[in-house]
Amino acid sequence: MYKTVREAVDYVSQFLPLIKDTSDVDKLIAPPFTALNAVASALAGSDVLVAAQDVFYEEQGAFTGEISPLMVKDAGGAFVIAGHSERRQYFHETDAIVNKKAKAALKAGLGVILCMGETLEERNSNRTFDVIKRQVVEGLAEFGEAEFKNTVLAYEPIWAIGTGVTATPAQAEEAHGFIRSIVKEIYGGAADDIRILYGGSVKPDNVKEIMAGPNVDGALVGGASLDPQVFSKLVMFKRG
């Protein structure tokens, strides 16, 4: 929940020149709903996509305050984020709700970034894999091949979101590898192609270590994305 419309458009004007030579990297910005259309317009002609930070699972109706997938698409959005840890934590979204949101977005022709991750208490009580498996299985419930192909997964340990604490490279790779193994049980070899992002205090000074894992395909960047100079450094990162 950052940036007014003017601030968001100004951000884009600073950001685009910094990442002009990154055609080999998929880039996406997720502004607040109020700036979605303005950011999409400012990014027109670039290869940077726009995502909504959340979405509701109905096309229209008596759901005051909610934003439908069709509204996101009409505003210029190409993706939505579903199941972000803060939505789960503060707004008590269940795996079933996250699944409904993801399917509604995909039905509308949007891509989905489906998030998952454990709390510190769950990790300390050795329930990390149980939690992740449940979130993957229930989050992808009733997904067909078409839905699966338009979905990106994101592992974001809740204990590393906005805390300055980052999962170690080994922890990130272990979780990503486990997620891929669960997806493989459901979809077979197609799991090799799905992208799994890491989210949780990713910064220019730790991105190399985080991205070293073979199962870490990118980053879902939070606080570090608020500064175009800092975020551009993450976009410019090249795997060795």
List residues with catalytic annotation: 84, 156
DSSP label of 160: G
226 phi and psi angles, rounded to 5 deg: -70, -20
Handedness of CA 157, 161, 165, 168 (dihedral sign): positive
Residues present in the chain in total: 240
Full DSSP string of 15-60: HHHHTTT-TTS-EEE---GGGHHHHHHHTTTSSEEEEES---SSSS
Type of residue numbered 220: L
Q: How many helices (H) and strands (E) does the chain have?
A: 11, 7
Asked if residue 76 lies in contact with residue 36, where contact means CB atoms within 8 angstroms, the answer is yes
Question: Which residues touch 197 (CB under 8 Å, ≥6 apart)?
Answer: 113, 152, 153, 154, 155, 216, 217, 218, 219, 220
Contact 176, 199 (CB under 8 A): no
